[in-house]
Structures are given as C-alpha cells and as structure tokens.
C-alpha cells in the first residue's frame, strides 16, 4: 500500500469524531492468529479509554487485557481474511462500557474498528423494562432514535430523535407499521430478523439498513435490536444511529484506494510512454536538420513533431493524476500558453472562443504542462456547459494584490485569467462543492477536472475562484504569481561548430534506443560521449575518467533505473568522487520530487522526457558554460 494512501487513511481516521483504532493481526509459525497489536488510534479513542496514545501504540491486546488470548480474535481474523466488514455488540471490561464495534480491513493483514458507545442505551433498555413512564424523558433526550415495536410489527413508541431523523411528528409514528419506515430493499431482511429475535433465535443484534424519510430522502442507519417486555408482552426495542456520514467516509476510503491503484498504473504507463516519446521526438528533431531543403519531408516531420508534443501533454496529465507532485517551474509566456491551450481544447467543438490578451501581459514561473491542464479543464468545463454551442471568453490582465486582498494570496504581482461561458450556470447550493473531488452534476463524468485544476493552481501559489448565476453563465478566474525575473528570448542552441575544446559527456539511461539517439545527437554537436546503462557502470566510468585526469565536463542521469541504481543514488556517489560534478537529471516521471527540487539533491540541471535535440542541446550548453 503506497505511503500516501496510508497518510490519507490516517487523516480520515483522525477527522472522525467517533473512536477508531487500527490493528495488525499477529500469527505464529503455523500461520494461526494468536494476538493483535494496536498500530494507531484517533483522539476520540484516547478519550474513550482514558489513556494517552503513547501508552497504547505498539502494545499487544493480550498485554492490555491480561489474557493469553485476546477476546474477539476470531472475528477480527475473519474480517482480515475475507475483506468483509462485520458489526457486532461487545462489552469492554477495561472501560466498563457496552460498545458496537464496526470492523473492516483497509488493507491486507490489518483491521480497523470504529466504536459506538451504547452503554447509555443499555441502561435505557433496563430502565424501560422497569418503568416506561418514569424514564420516557430520558429516552426522548437521547441523540439516537429509539423505537418499541410490537409483535404485530407496529410502532408502540418512538422518541423525538427518531421522529426528527425521518421527518415525522412523534405522535404520528405511533401505530404506524415499522416496515413502512424502511427502504423497500431492507424490508425482507428486517422481517426475518425481527421474527428470529422474538422466537429467541441467535441472530446478530446489530445490522445496517436504510430509513425512508417523509420527504423521500433515505438515511443510512445502524440498528441495535433487543427483546424486552412491554406492557406485559414481548416486544422489540430498536436503537437507530444515523451512520450516513460514516458510510460516506467508508466509500471515500474505497475511492481513495481505487484511485491510488489507477494512479500507480497511470504513472507507470506515462513513464514508459515518455521513454518511447523521447526516442521518437529526439530522432524526429535530429532528422529535420538533414532534410531542411526537402520541403515535403520537412513538413511531415514537423507534423509528427507536433503530434509528439500533444502526446507529451497527455502523459503529463497522466502523471499529474497519478502523483499530484510539485510543479517543475520555468519562466513562460502566459499569453502564448493560453492561445495554444484554448485552440486545442476546443478543436472540433460547436463552441467558439474569444481571446482578450494584452500585449504587455506579464510572464510567470509555472509548470507549463500542469497550468495548461488546469486551463484546459476550465475551457472543457465551459464547452460542456453549452451543448448547443455558444461563446467562451478568455481574458487576462496584470494585477497587483495588496496585503488585505481577501483571497489568501501573498501581496505582489499576479496574472489574472478569466474563463467565462454562456451556459446554464451553477446552482447556489453547488458552488461550494464544485472543487471537491468526485463532485459532478453531469452524467458519465468523474468529477475530477475542477479538483485537479484547483490542486494545480494552489500548488503554484495562486488562487482559483468562481462566480455563477443560474441562467446567466459561469466565470472562473485564476490568479498566477507573475515572474520577478527578467524576460529574455532564449536563442536555440543548434550550433554545429565544434567547441574550442572537445567536451566529454557521460550519459546514463537503461533504454538502448534512447542511448543510441543521444549518442548521435551529442556526437553531431562534437561532444565526446560515453554511455552507461545502469548506475554502477556510470559510477565506474566516472571514477576512471576522474582518476586518469580526463574528467567528464557534464553527466546526464536517468532518475529511474529498474533493478539498479538510479540518478538519485548515483549523484551522491559522483559527488563523493568530485564535489564539483555538473549533472543533469532526466526522467519520464516529471512529477517526482527530485525533478521539482533537483538542486537540493545535488543536480545542476533538469531535462524532462520526452525531450528533443534543441532541448538537450540548450540544457547541456547552459550547464557547461556555467561556473561550478
């Protein structure tokens, strides 16, 4: 299970206001469950057991209970092995409380328990047996719903909490068939359970069901059923706790787990795809140098190069989806980025667009791929809001943000973008939710587009907001911090003259097709090149060159080498040999933290796969010309 998933689970546990503990099953040499250990608890659990977290974590249940075999171990093992949740009623002598334990397994070998304290209701049950009249006030003050069901299935009593839960006046519930309050799919199970309870059969006393409110809205509830005597006759007392929020959180946990699995797959595909694109794009850009006089061939290669760029953008979206990493920032023209993104996003659409971009629009330090994705998501959202066609207006302006801006932005210079559509607008009650993951009002949509845009802009230190009115359309606005650096035009380094002194380059990549391509490129640029397919080989070549007084002028290292040392490990070894080594890190995982903060890890430059001839040449030339 990825660490990020575990962190998300822990965050959800700690946000719950009911006691939750995470455990791990311990097995003996014969693979028989013999104990379990407490791995984590939330603050509500500490309050329940009156012990601090530090005195609980890491202890075995047998130690806590003072028993050779901890109670309920068979149930917990069943949940871990089957993956199916179980809810049951228990008594804890440690805290002298009756509890409902909802047990589920978030990942293999471990189980979590969400506890509900029903001690008061157990006491209430006993009090009801003694005197309904004397303790009816206590029952009506309970936060959970309480009902007494006669043998004929009709309600004899319902407290105020149950009445409020389903939207009926309490007096209207008396005499009403209990089954009428349940969702149709839950009624047959309730009939069987209630018959078994009254017959004295051993059936689970706790089960989940759905209550149907007077307004038609259903609520997820957890029933605790017990047999009592009421007015001299057997009856059932049902305690109903609203678990709608808990069920929502459980579904969110499942979504997170699925999203993580899809994300890992997407990231792997994108990485492999970027390796292939590096070879394709690099060879195309290199080949164009030889066919400049052959117009048809040159134009065909230019079209293929443009297609590679679009494929590169697609893999960037996959990586952003899978990792959500920090942006790899570079100074860029926001105006040019908007023009390219909008034309591509609306290609083939019935929607027209109008651009209002001033000539003096400030540049920004951004991750072009990520910001392009954020803008594209907003434009696509506008397109979908106008199925019959219309106009989407995209405007930009330079703005100065003061200290008291009300937008949670740092004071300074910003580029403000507005994306305005002529669609149906967004309902007021939905406005606060549109950036939430999975929230959508459209059919067959994931609800991730706007949440991804929100995450990207936030990671750039910016702000994204929305204004909308039903029937009047919607406007999204983005604030991106403007660059403080001087803007200048970078001249592409396609110099074919040999340098004054022949430079030596060490290149490491596990893909032969990429090594061959880069060898041709660098040889063409009059560099002396040595190749390594993995980390140990690169370290050995670097060491020999350094000791023979023929050190490499620059090193290019692939970040990820399957089954071997990657760039992160290799650069540490190279710096031990030569602290002044000039190294470039390269990877198809553009969202890896090393790529975003390469200097922190000892690199002097970065080039993101897929790269072409000009990108590699410029990056290498800049690095070599800098003073270490």
Q: How many CB atoms lie within 10 A of CB 458?
A: 13
Task: Give the whole-angstrom CA distance, residue 289 versus residue 509.
Answer: 24
Query: For 178, what's the count of Cα atoms within 13 Å in the CB-facing half-sphere?
Result: 29
pTM above 0.85, yes or no: no
Rounded to 5°, the CA angle 303-509-536 comes to 175
The structure tokens listed for 180 are 């009428």
- Average pLDDT for 363-378: 88
Per-residue model confidence as pLDDT tens digits over 418-473: 999 998 888 877 776 777 655 566 554 545 678 778 878 888 889 888 888 888 88
Residues near 30 by beta carbon (within 8 Å), at least 6 away in sequence:
none
Helix axes 334-345, 368-384, angle to 10 degrees: 40
Is the separation of the CB atoms in 531 and 540 below 8 Å?
A: no
pLDDT at 558 over 80: yes
Closest C-alpha among 116, 119, 193, 184 to residue 149: 193
Contacts of 131 (CB under 8 A, 6+ apart): none
CB atoms within 10 A of CB 585: 27
Euclidean distance between CA atoms 604 and 558, whole angstroms: 14
Q: Which of 89-93, 254-258, 391-395, 576-580 has the lowest mean pLDDT?
A: 254-258
Domain 325-488: state its class.
alpha beta
The pLDDT of residue 261 is: 58
| Residues in Cβ contact with 70 at an 8 Å cutoff, skipping those fewer than 6 apart | 35, 36, 60, 61, 62, 64
- For 289-307, what is the mean pLDDT? 64
> Angle at which helices 449-459 and 368-384 pack, to 10 degrees?
150
CA nearest 366: which of 334, 339, 398, 338?
334
Q: Which pLDDT does position 200 carry in this prediction?
A: 85
With residues binned 3-state (H G I as helix, E B as strand, rest as coil), the percentages for the chain, rounded to 5, are 40, 25, 35
Comparing CA positions, the residue from 314, 300, 388 lying closest to residue 344 is 314
Q: What CATH number has the domain spanning 120-242?
A: 3.30.450.20
Average pLDDT value for the chain:
81
Question: Beta-carbon neighbour count of residue 232 at 10 Å?
Answer: 6
3-state secondary structure of 375: helix
What is the DSSP annotation of 411-428? SEEEEEEEEE--S----H
Rounded distance, CA 625 to CA 212, Å?
A: 73
User: How far is residue 114's CA from residue 99's CA, in Å, rounded to a whole number?
Assistant: 10
Residues of the chain with CATH 3.40.50.2300: 504-625
The Cα–Cα gap between 58 and 24 comes to: 10
Residues of the chain with CATH 3.30.450.20: 3-117, 120-242
User: 472-492: per-residue pLDDT in tens?
Assistant: 889 999 999 998 865 544 444
Cα angle for residues 492, 312, 369 (degrees, 5° grid): 80
The predicted pLDDT at position 546 comes to 93
Residue 58 to residue 45: CA distance in whole angstroms: 15
Residue 494 has pLDDT above 80, yes or no: no
pLDDT (average), residues 126-138:
62
What tokens were used for 520? 């041709």
Q: Which CATH class is domain 3-117?
A: alpha beta
Contact 219, 162 (CB under 8 A): no
Terminal C-alpha separation, the chain: 41
Phi/psi of residue 466, nearest 5 degrees: -145, 145
In the numeric block, which tokens belong to residue 89?
Answer: 């009623």
DSSP assignment of 209-252: EEEE-TTS-EEEEEEEEEEEEETTEEEEEEEEEE-HHHHHHHHH
Residue 459 near residue 448, CB atoms below 8 Å: no
Pair of tokens at residue 60: 């075995």
How many angstroms separate the CA atoms of 622 and 618, rounded? Answer: 6
Partners of residue 230 on adjacent β-strands: 233
User: Which residues in 249-335 belong to E strands, given as ranges?
Assistant: 330-332
Whole-angstrom distance, CA of residue 151 vs CA of residue 177:
11
Lowest-pLDDT range of 305-314, 374-383, 446-455, 590-599: 305-314
Average pLDDT over residues 240-257: 73
For 56, counting Cβ atoms within 10 Å of its Cβ (0-12 exposed, 13-18 middle, 19+ buried), the class is middle
- Of 49-63, 125-139, 363-377, 541-555, least confident by mean pLDDT is 125-139
534: Cβ contacts below 8 Å, ≥ 6 apart: 508, 510, 561, 563, 564, 565
Q: Choose between 416 and 588: higher pLDDT.
A: 416
Task: Tell me the two tokens of residue 627.
Answer: 């003073």
Give, in words, the CATH class of 504-625.
alpha beta
d(CA 164, CA 213): 9
Specify the higher pLDDT residue, 230 or 414: 414
Q: Where in the chain is the domain with CATH 3.30.565.10?
A: 325-488
């Amino acid at each position: 299970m990825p660490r990020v998933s575990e962190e998300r689970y822990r965050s959800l546990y700690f946000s719950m206001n009911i006691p939750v503990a995470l455990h791990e099953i311990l097995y003996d040499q014969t693979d028989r469950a013999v104990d379990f250990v407490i791995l984590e608890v939330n603050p509500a659990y500490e309050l329940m057991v009156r012990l601090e977290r530090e005195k609980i974590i890491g202890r075995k249940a047998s130690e806590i209970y003072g028993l050779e075999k901890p109670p309920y171990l068979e149930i917990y093992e069943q949940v871990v092995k089957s993956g199916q949740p179980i809810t049951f009623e228990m008594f804890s002598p440690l805290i002298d409380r009756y509890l409902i334990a909802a047990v589920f397994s978030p990942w293999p070998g471990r189980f979590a328990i969400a506890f509900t304290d029903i001690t008061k209701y157990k006491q209430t049950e006993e009090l009801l047996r003694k005197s309904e009249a004397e303790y009816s006030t206590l029952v009506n003050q309970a936060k959970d719903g309480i009902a007494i069901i006669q043998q004929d299935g009709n309600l004899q009593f319902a407290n105020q909490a149950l009445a409020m839960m389903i939207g009926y006046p309490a007096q209207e519930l008396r005499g009403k068939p209990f089954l009428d309050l349940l969702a149709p799919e839950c009624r047959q199970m309730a009939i069987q359970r209630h018959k078994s309870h009254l017959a004295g059969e051993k059936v689970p006393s706790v089960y989940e069901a759905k209550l149907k409110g007077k307004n038609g809205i259903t609520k997820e509830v957890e029933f605790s059923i017990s047999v009592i005597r009421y007015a001299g006759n057997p009856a059932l007392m049902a305690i109903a706790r609203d678990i709608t929020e808990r069920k929502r959180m459980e579904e969110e946990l499942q979504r997170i787990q699925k999203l993580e699995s899809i994300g890992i797959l997407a990231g792997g595909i994108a990485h492999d795809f970027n390796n292939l694109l590096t070879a394709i794009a690099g060879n195309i850009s290199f080949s164009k140098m030889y066919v400049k006089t052959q117009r048809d061939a040159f134009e065909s290669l230019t079209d293929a190069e443009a297609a590679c760029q679009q494929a590169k953008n697609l893999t960037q979206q996959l990586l952003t989806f899978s990792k959500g990493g920090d942006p790899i920032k570079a100074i860029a023209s926001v105006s040019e980025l908007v023009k390219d993104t909008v034309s591509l996003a609306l290609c083939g659409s019935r929607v027209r667009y109008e651009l209002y971009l001033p000539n003096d629009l400030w540049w920004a330090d951004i991750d072009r791929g990520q910001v392009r994705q954020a803008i594209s998501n907003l434009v696509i959202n506008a397109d979908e809001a106008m199925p019959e066609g219309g106009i989407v207006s995209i405007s930009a302006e330079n703005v100065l943000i003061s200290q008291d801006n009300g937008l949670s932005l740092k004071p300074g210079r910003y580029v403000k973008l507005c994306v305005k559509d002529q669609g149906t607008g967004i309902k007021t009650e939905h406005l606060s939710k549109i950036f939430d993951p999975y929230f959508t009002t459209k059919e067959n949509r994931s609800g991730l587009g706007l949440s991804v845009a929100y995450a990207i802009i936030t990671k750039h230190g910016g702000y994204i907001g929305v204004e909308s009115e039903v029937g009047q359309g919607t406007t999204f606005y983005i604030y991106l911090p403007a660059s403080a650096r001087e803007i200048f035009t970078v001249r592409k380094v396609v110099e074919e003259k040999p340098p004054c002194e022949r430079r030596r380059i060490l290149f490491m990549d596990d893909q032969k097709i990429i090594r061959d391509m880069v060898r041709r490129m660098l040889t063409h640029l009059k560099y002396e090149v040595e190749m390594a397919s993995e980390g140990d080989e690169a370290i050995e070549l670097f060491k020999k060159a350094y000791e023979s007084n023929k050190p490499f002028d620059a090193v290019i290292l692939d970040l990820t080498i399957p089954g071997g040392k990657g760039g992160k490990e290799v650069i540490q070894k190279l710096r031990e040999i030569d602290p002044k080594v000039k190294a470039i890190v390269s990877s198809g995982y553009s969202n890896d933290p090393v790529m975003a903060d390469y200097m922190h890890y000892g690199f002097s430059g970065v080039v993101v796969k897929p790269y072409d001839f000009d990108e590699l040449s410029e990056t290498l030339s800049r690095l070599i010309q800098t003073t270490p």
